[in-house]
């Protein structure tokens, strides 16, 4: 059967006979083919063949035919055809050699319409790519759980955290995936998922994810997953979807606040919260509260020092923690006191645990002529037998602990019914035996040591007051600081086992006798005679004591110059006699306390300075961003209705030129001068330096017209001054201004509007001021539309590669081309780069377009190679966004795409804009070296538009420098040409090729030839044109 008979047969599938000599030709088609394509044999014989296969896929079609001929085996491919009615449809086809006529192969090619299926696949791929890009930009990680199969997606992005690359999103059983979480988080996570699978719910769950590779020790980071249940049409929950965020830093900060800094156990406040929470959630479970006090610990600190004492405390903490379960609550609630809440246990098990604990905490320490034995006294209270709340259980355990001390220490006691209320003077009696052998001089040494090792001055001061009260059997020790106007005293620190006061209580007035007292002197007060007054007691506390049943020794001290304070040593024993040696000791202690107060005052001053620094830019002393927003909000809240307020977003033009040519010190001095000028104007309200040479200012004036006039005067003054001082710098100010219509509006919206106005001024090349107009918002919406449509257009192949010739000046001989992108809309209109490049650059999507065009270049060169056409070098552009990080992803993708083709690398030229030389010169230099290793040429595009210097260019191993068209535009003059000639001369010295961009007229061509330039690019030769047209003209 010959091919004519074959096509005449009633084959129920679209088929064609194609001959492939020097070029391919459709010889015959059947009825099904006509239905599929709309073309008849006559159409195809005239001009339809060139229209049938889309330009994007023509080389794929030819390659598949060539493969079938070369291998003598069927070859398959998927591509797009253009129907006669111009509709684009996806088809799959298979080609195989049918027979030969005069040595020319004839192939049978059959086609299947897969348009519907393919478009669904593309839509899914578009969504996937879009989400991947959004995830990378927003640092989100997708979460997906299939309820029916109870499997969970293992995100490839989470796997990248573990150093595993190139994986796909794969679903695994939930129970298997949960193993990547910390064991502590298994149950909470599974409980949350089971609940969301049963009841429609939106919530979040925190869990620690293991970021280590397989076989390595686990390293966990905190992630928060926001999730929601998804139902089908019948209301059944079929999936749980959401997004995960890395919150490890936030958790670390939160955990740091909850922990005791020395032992890393929970602090006292957090212990109380955790115990209270557990009791509320588990009211019917038996639990036991342990209060553990280290016996004789004071002797360790006094004789071995606080550094050693800290080590002992840390060791004790580890011992205690190791004795209990992971879910039991363990904390440090005092200097040498620990608390454990043993959950869901029995009294018998708790007693066994107490015995083991006493044994493990028994330690001996020896020094010079010293032998110290440490042990633990433990008090235990049972929930709910001894109490149903934290405070009651703590008090009961406290009583039991001191009974354990009275019984000889190194033991435990269970709480009893008579253990009620807070422990009072019993601890004096117990501790006295430990302290009786220590003289006052050693206690002073302890005081100085405590001060020297203090991490927390307030905490150390409170601890010292407690120790003083315990040692000298006092009921209160308090530090007072006098108000600067002598209107009274403020109690800043106190320790008491009978009184409770509000923090920093104020005592109005001052006793006449105290006023006469000089620093270093003392008074003994009998309240029944002298009428000493204490601050009002804290009404929130149950324990209140009458003020007049006491006696007090009061000393006066001086700190930080002439500031005055007092220390009150108070006893409830009205018969107490203050001995001479005791009074002398109290005076010494008061001097030591004065040092504490002085140190705290200086620290508070430093903190205030730090807060000031934290709110200010250190270079200009303007506000930082957060402080500016806060201040602007406050000012606008009390805005004067007679005035207008505005936000100004501005920067200094060509500031990078100054840094590069005059140095960073000069740049810093300009910024300081600029900030000083801004803040000295009468219309200035507040300002901040965003970064580099970018500023935000809140302005205020009588009218918009007056404000605009004042700002123009300011800009002219600054521009003239700077250009006089730094000639040829071209410095000036570009500003965007938004006049605030409603002082209650969101400050962020006002800043964004000012920023839009600034961008518009910049894009227009304007050195001046632009006020916000509503049309700018419309432009922003258009940009967002472009970004929203980008990925769909990319996968629809709406982007076309155009080529603009590079030519020899004077000869017009084309030796290469630059690949440029054009966006062909479904209606056939072609969008120029000016429409879409900036929006894609801003959001970062430009990188995907760059790689798309790069692959189109490789496809074209590959096609030319097979067609034996003339070889030309094609350059393709890459945005500076590729070099914002370390450039590794850029290089890996270049290598991956390039490996798919057999194109010699020397025919590909990678173009990067000059701006990268300023921003990321070291990253670019490393990437250029790697590109050279791969065999590519590299060119620096738009040279002369940025702020880079020839010295930077000299160190950059680029092959080609492209001079920006601004040097030869219509207002070109002798001075500009002299600069261009000099740049050309120096670039040649660097042994780099030069191309002049924007050559449009013969006059320009002649000037360039006279200057020694040989290569150009521009409309004089041709504009950017489609590939087909370029091939016809130049190949």
Q: What is the per-residue pLDDT across 616-648, written as a single tens digit (0 to 9) for each?
A: 888 898 998 888 999 999 999 999 989 999 999
Residue given tokens 């010889």 in the structure block: 27
Task: Give the pLDDT confidence score for residue 873 in this predicted structure.
Answer: 96
pLDDT at site 454: 66
Domain ranges of the chain: 3-118, 139-252, 259-435, 454-610, 625-772, 784-1034
pLDDT digits (tens, 9 = 90+) for 732-741: 899 999 999 8
Tokens of 774: 């509503």
Kindly tell me if the per-residue pLDDT of 134 is higher than 60. no
Whether 623 and 615 have beta carbons less than 8 Å apart is answered as yes
Give the closest residue to 625 by CA, choosing from 769, 728, 748, 494: 748
For residues 947 and 980, the answer to whether their CB atoms sit within 8 Å is no
Q: Which two tokens stand for residue 895?
A: 């290598």
pLDDT at 475 over 70: yes
- C-beta separation of 494 from 478 below 8 A: yes
Could you give the percent of the chain with pLDDT greater than 70?
87
Instruction: Give pLDDT, residue 291.
Output: 96
Using 50, 70 and 90 to split pLDDT, how confident is the model at 435?
very low
pLDDT top residue among 646 and 417: 646
Residue range 210-223: average pLDDT?
A: 88
| Residue 428's pLDDT band (cuts 50, 70, 90) | very low
Between helix 115-138 and helix 774-795 the angle, nearest 10°, is 130
- The average pLDDT across 745-749 equals 88
d(CA 313, CA 294): 9
pLDDT higher at 873 or 990: 873
Element at 28 (helix H, strand E): strand 24-29
Bridge-based pairing state of the strands 769-771 and 732-740 = parallel
What number is the average pLDDT over the span 206-223?
89
Nearest to 350 by CA among 392, 293, 290: 290
**CATH classification of 259-435, choosing from 1.20.58.110, 3.30.70.270, 3.40.50.300, 3.40.50.970?**
3.30.70.270
Q: Which residues contact 628 (CB under 8 A, 6 or more apart)?
A: 622, 686, 687, 688, 696, 698
- Closest to 376 in 3D by CA, of 288, 437, 297, 321: 297
Has residue 429 got a pLDDT over 60?
Answer: no
Helix axes 625-637, 747-763, angle to 10 degrees: 120
Residue pair 836/788 in contact (Cβ under 8 Å)? The answer is no
Place of tokens 């492939």: 20
Query: Do 17 and 107 meet the contact criterion of CB atoms below 8 Å apart?
Result: yes
User: Among 238, 167, 163, 247, which residue's Cα sits nearest to residue 205?
Assistant: 247
Q: Convert the pLDDT of each residue in 575-619 to its tens digit.
A: 888 887 788 888 888 888 888 888 878 777 766 666 666 788 888
> Max alpha carbon distance in the chain (Å)?
135
Architecture per CATH, domain 3-118, reads as 2-Layer Sandwich (3.30)
Q: Stretch 747-762: mean pLDDT, rounded?
A: 89
Whether pLDDT at 813 is above 70:
yes
Answer whether residue 1014 shows pLDDT above 70.
yes
Give the confidence band of 49 by pLDDT, cuts at 50, 70, 90.
Answer: low
- Mean pLDDT for 893-903 is 92
Q: Which residue has the higher pLDDT, 135 or 121?
A: 121
C-alpha separations of 236 from 180, 227, 901 in Å: 29, 17, 49
d(CA 986, CA 300): 76
> How many angstroms separate the CA atoms of 626 and 614, rounded?
10
301-312 confidence digits (pLDDT tens) = 777 777 788 888
Q: What is the pLDDT of residue 437?
A: 37
- Whether the link from the prior residue into 1011 is cis, omega within 30° of 0, is no
* pLDDT of residue 544 exceeding 50: no
CATH 1.10.287.130 corresponds to the domain 784-1034: no
In CATH, what class is 625-772?
alpha beta
CA distance 450 to 215: 46
Element (H, E) at 543: none
Question: Architecture of 454-610 per CATH?
Answer: 2-Layer Sandwich (3.30)
658 neighbors 729 (Cβ within 8 angstroms): yes
Token reading at 896: 């991956």
**Backbone torsions φ then ψ of 114, nearest 5 degrees:** -120, 25
Percentage of the chain with pLDDT > 90?
40
CATH topology of domain 139-252: Beta-Lactamase (3.30.450)
Q: Dihedral (C-alpha) 154, 155, 158, 159: value to the nearest 10 degrees?
A: 70
Please, which residues bridge with residue 797 across strands? none
pLDDT top residue among 636 and 417: 636
More confident residue, 46 or 646: 646
Cβ-contact 97, 72 below 8 angstroms:
yes
Beta-ladder partners of 525 = 552
CA-CA distance, 869 to 582, in Å (whole number)?
108
3-state secondary structure of 389: coil
Q: C-alpha dihedral over 249, 251, 253, 258, to 10 degrees?
A: -170
Q: Hey, do 3-118 and 139-252 end up sharing a CATH topology, with the first three levels equal?
A: yes
Phi and psi, residue 1000, nearest 5°: -120, -20
Closest CA to 380 of 273, 283, 278, 292: 292
CB-based contact 98:2 (threshold 8 Å): no
Cβ proximity of 469 and 477 under 8 Å:
yes
- Tell me the backbone φ, ψ of residue 880, rounded to 5 degrees: -65, -15
Which pairing describes strands 237-246 and 220-231: parallel, antiparallel, or unpaired? Answer: antiparallel
- Which letter does DSSP use for residue 530 in this model? H
Q: Using an 8 Å Cβ cutoff, are 454 and 593 in contact?
A: no
Average pLDDT of the residues of the chain: 84
Distance between CA 909 and CA 939 in Å, rounded?
Answer: 7
Rounded Cα gap, residues 1015 and 1012, in angstroms: 10
Q: Taking 90 as the threshold, does the pLDDT of residue 254 lie above it?
A: no
Residue (of 356, 361, 403) closest to 380 by Cα position: 403
What is the mean pLDDT of the segment spanning 567-572?
Answer: 90
Span 977-999, average pLDDT: 88
Tokens found for residue 962: 């492209």
3-state secondary structure of 516: helix
Contacts of 525 by beta carbon, 8 Å cutoff, 6+ apart: 511, 532, 551, 552, 553, 554
What pLDDT, on the 0 to 100 scale, is given for residue 954? Answer: 77
Mean pLDDT value across residues 141-159: 88
**Among candidate residues 343, 345, 339, 347, the one with its CA nearest the CA of residue 378:** 339
Intra-chain end-to-end CA distance of the chain, in Å:
41
Residue 637 has a CB neighbour count (10 Å cut-off) of 9
Six token digits for residue 689: 């330096």
Instruction: Give Cα separations from 390 to 393, 422, 423, 879 (angstroms).
Output: 5, 13, 16, 62
Say how far apart CA 78 and CA 61 lie, in whole Å. Answer: 9
Q: How many CA atoms lie within 13 A of 235 on its CB side?
A: 1
Cα separation, 172 vs 144, in Å, equals 11
Number of neighbouring beta carbons within 10 Å of residue 990: 14
Torsion of CA 919, 997, 967, 1008, to 10 degrees: 140
92 beta partners? 78, 112
């Amino acid at each position: 059967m010959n091919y004519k008979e074959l096509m005449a047969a009633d084959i129920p599938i679209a088929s064609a006979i194609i001959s492939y000599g020097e070029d391919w030709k459709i010889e015959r088609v059947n009825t099904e083919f006509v239905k599929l394509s709309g073309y008849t044999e006559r159409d195809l014989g005239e001009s339809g063949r060139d229209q049938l296969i889309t330009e994007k896929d023509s080389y794929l079609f030819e390659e598949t035919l060539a493969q079938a001929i070369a291998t003598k085996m069927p070859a398959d491919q998927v591509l797009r055809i253009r129907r006669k009615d111009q509709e684009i449809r996806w088809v799959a086809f298979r080609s195989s050699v049918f027979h030969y006529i005069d040595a020319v192969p004839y192939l049978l090619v059959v086609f299947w319409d897969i348009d519907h299926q393919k478009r669904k696949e593309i839509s899914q791929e578009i969504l996937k790519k879009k989400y991947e890009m959004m995830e990378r930009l927003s640092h989100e990680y997708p979460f997906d759980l299939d309820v029916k199969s109870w499997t969970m997606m293992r995100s490839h992005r989470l796997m990248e955290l573990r150093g595993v690359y190139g994986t796909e999103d794969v679903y695994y059983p939930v129970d298997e995936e949960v193993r990547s979480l910390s064991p502590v988080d298994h149950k909470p996570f599974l409980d949350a998922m089971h609940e969301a699978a049963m009841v429609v719910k939106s919530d979040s769950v925190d869990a620690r994810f293991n970021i280590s590779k397989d076989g390595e020790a686990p390293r966990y980071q905190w992630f928060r997953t926001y999730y929601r249940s998804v139902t089908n049409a019948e209301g059944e929950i079929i999936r749980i979807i959401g997004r995960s965020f890395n919150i490890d830093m936030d958790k670390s900060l939160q955990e740091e606040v909850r922990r005791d800094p020395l032992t890393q156990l929970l602090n006292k406040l957090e212990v109380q919260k955790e115990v209270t929470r557990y009791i509320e959630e588990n009211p019917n479970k038996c639990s036991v509260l342990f209060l553990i006090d280290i016996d004789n610990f004071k002797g360790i600190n006094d004789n071995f020092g606080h550094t050693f004492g800290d080590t002992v405390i840390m060791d004790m903490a580890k011992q205690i923690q190791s004795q209990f379960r992971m879910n039991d609550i363990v904390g440090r609630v005092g200097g040498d006191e620990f608390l454990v809440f043993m959950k869901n246990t029995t009294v018998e098990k708790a007693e066994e645990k107490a015995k083991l604990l006493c044994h493990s905490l028994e330690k001996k320490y020896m020094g010079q002529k010293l032998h110290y034995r440490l042990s633990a006294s433990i008090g235990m209270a049972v929930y709910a037998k001894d109490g149903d709340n934290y405070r009651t259980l703590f008090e009961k355990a406290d009583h039991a602990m001191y009974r354990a001390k009275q019984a000889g220490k190194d033991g435990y006691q269970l709480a009893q019914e008579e253990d009620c209320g807070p422990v009072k003077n019993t601890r004096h009696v117990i501790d006295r035996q430990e302290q009786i052998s220590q003289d006052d001089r050693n206690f002073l040494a302890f005081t100085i040591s405590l001060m020297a090792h203090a991490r927390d001055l307030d905490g150390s001061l409170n601890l010292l007051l407690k120790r003083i009260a315990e040692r000298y059997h006092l009921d209160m020790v308090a530090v007072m600081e006098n108000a600067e106007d002598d209107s009274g005293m403020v109690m800043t620190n106190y320790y008491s086992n009978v009184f409770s006061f509000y923090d920093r209580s104020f005592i109005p007035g001052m006793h006449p006798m105290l006023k006469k007292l000089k620093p270093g002197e003392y008074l003994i007060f009998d309240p029944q005679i002298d009428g000493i007054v204490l601050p009002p007691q804290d009404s929130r506390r149950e324990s209140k004591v009458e003020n007049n049943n006491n006696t007090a020794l009061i000393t006066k001290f001086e700190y930080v110059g002439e500031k005055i304070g007092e220390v009150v040593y108070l006893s409830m024993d009205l018969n107490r006699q203050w001995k001479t040696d005791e009074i002398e000791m109290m005076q010494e202690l008061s001097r030591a306390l004065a040092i504490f107060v002085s140190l705290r005052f200086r620290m508070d001053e430093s903190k205030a300075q730090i807060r000031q620094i934290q709110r200010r830019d250190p270079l200009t002393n303007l506000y930082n961003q957060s402080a500016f927003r806060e201040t602007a909000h406050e000012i606008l809240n009390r805005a004067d209705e007679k005035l207008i307020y505005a936000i100004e977003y501005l920067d200094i033009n060509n500031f990078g030129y100054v840094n590069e040519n005059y140095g960073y010190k000069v740049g810093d001095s300009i910024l300081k001068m600029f900030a000083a000028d801004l803040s000295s104007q009468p219309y200035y309200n507040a300002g901040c330096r965003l970064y580099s040479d970018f500023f935000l200012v809140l302005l205020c004036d009588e009218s918009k017209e007056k404000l605009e006039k004042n700002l123009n005067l300011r800009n002219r003054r600054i521009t003239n001054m700077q250009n006089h001082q730094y000639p040829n710098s071209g410095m000036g100010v570009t500003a965007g201004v938004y006049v605030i219509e409603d002082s209650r509006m969101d400050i962020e919206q006002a800043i964004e509007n000012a920023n839009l106005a600034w961008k518009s001024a910049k894009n227009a090349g304007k050195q001046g001021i632009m006020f916000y107009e509503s049309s700018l918002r419309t432009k922003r919406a258009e940009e967002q539309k472009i970004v929203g449509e980008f990925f769909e257009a990319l996968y629809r192949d709406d982007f076309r590669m155009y080529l603009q010739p590079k030519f020899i000046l004077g000869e017009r001989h084309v030796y290469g081309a630059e690949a440029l992108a054009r966006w062909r809309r479904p209606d056939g209109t072609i969008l120029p780069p000016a429409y879409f490049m900036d929006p894609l650059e801003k959001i970062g999507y430009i990188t995907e377009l760059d790689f798309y065009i790069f692959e189109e270049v490789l496809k074209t060169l590959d096609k030319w190679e097979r067609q034996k056409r003339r070889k030309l070098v094609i350059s393709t552009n890459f945005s500076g966004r590729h070099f914002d990080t370390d450039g590794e992803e850029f290089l890996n993708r270049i290598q991956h795409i390039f490996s798919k083709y057999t194109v010699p690398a020397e025919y590909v030229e990678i173009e990067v804009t000059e701006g990268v030389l300023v921003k990321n010169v070291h990253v670019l230099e490393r990437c250029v070296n790697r590109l050279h290793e791969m065999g590519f040429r590299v060119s620096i595009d738009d040279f002369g538009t940025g702020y880079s210097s020839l010295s930077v260019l000299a160190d950059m191993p680029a092959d080609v420098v492209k001079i920006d068209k601004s040097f030869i535009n219509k207002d070109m003059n002798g001075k500009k040409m002299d600069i261009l000639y000099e740049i050309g001369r120096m670039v040649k010295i660097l042994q780099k090729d030069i191309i002049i961009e924007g050559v449009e007229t013969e006059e320009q061509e002649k000037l360039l030839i006279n200057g020694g330039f040989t290569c150009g690019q521009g409309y004089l030769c041709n504009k950017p044109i489609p590939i087909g047209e370029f091939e016809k003209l130049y190949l």
